Amino acid sequence: MGGTDQLSGMRTNNAQFALTYALSALVGPKGFLLYNPIIAVALWGLIRAIREKGLFFYEGIVIGAGSAVMVLYYLLFTNNYGGWSYSIRWFVPIITAVVFLFVPLFRGLRPKARASVPRAALRSGCDRVCGGNRPLVPS
């Protein structure tokens, strides 16, 4: 995506490109949710915290709004994945904030659903190790 005339990766994307880029950046071959599946569960916690208006309602609003602004900015105004990284590196700052809302969600999970969490965490960890063994290799 993009050529040598746009080495910075910054431009304003049209709606069709932005939608295609968003799908690819989130669930495509270098997709953020593909390489960080525990984030999908954490996003569920974020939505639940906001919907239930419980203990972490205000934190959920701030984390959700801040994350949405950041993600939308990169999806609407960039055209690369942040280099040769295994996933879109620009979204890394939101991981800690979103995972914060995973904790209350985990407590309320049924045993079968709770058993899937370590598998998702293991998958995320394995992807980190694989990326660490071959960093910055173009795909």
Task: Please state, in angstroms and rounded to a whole number, the distance separating the CA atoms of residues 75 and 32.
Answer: 12
Tell me 78's DSSP state.
B
Residues in CB range of 3: below 8 A, 6 or more apart: none
pLDDT at 134: 54
**Please, what's the b/e burial string for 118-135 (b: 16 or more CB within 10 A of its CB; e: otherwise)?**
eebeeeeeebeeeeeeee
The pair of structure tokens assigned to 70 is: 């950041």
Q: Which tens digit of pLDDT belongs to each residue from 50-103?
A: 898 988 899 889 989 998 998 888 888 887 766 666 667 777 788 777 777 777
**pTM, rounded to two decimals:** 0.67
Tell me 90's DSSP state.
G
Question: Higher model confidence: residue 41 or residue 14?
Answer: 14
pLDDT at 65: 93
Residues in CB range of 61: below 8 A, 6 or more apart: 50
127 close to 35: Cβ distance less than 8 angstroms: yes
Task: Please state, in angstroms and rounded to a whole number, the distance separating the CA atoms of residues 138 and 117.
Answer: 31
Q: Is the pLDDT of residue 3 over 50?
A: no
Mean pLDDT of the chain: 75
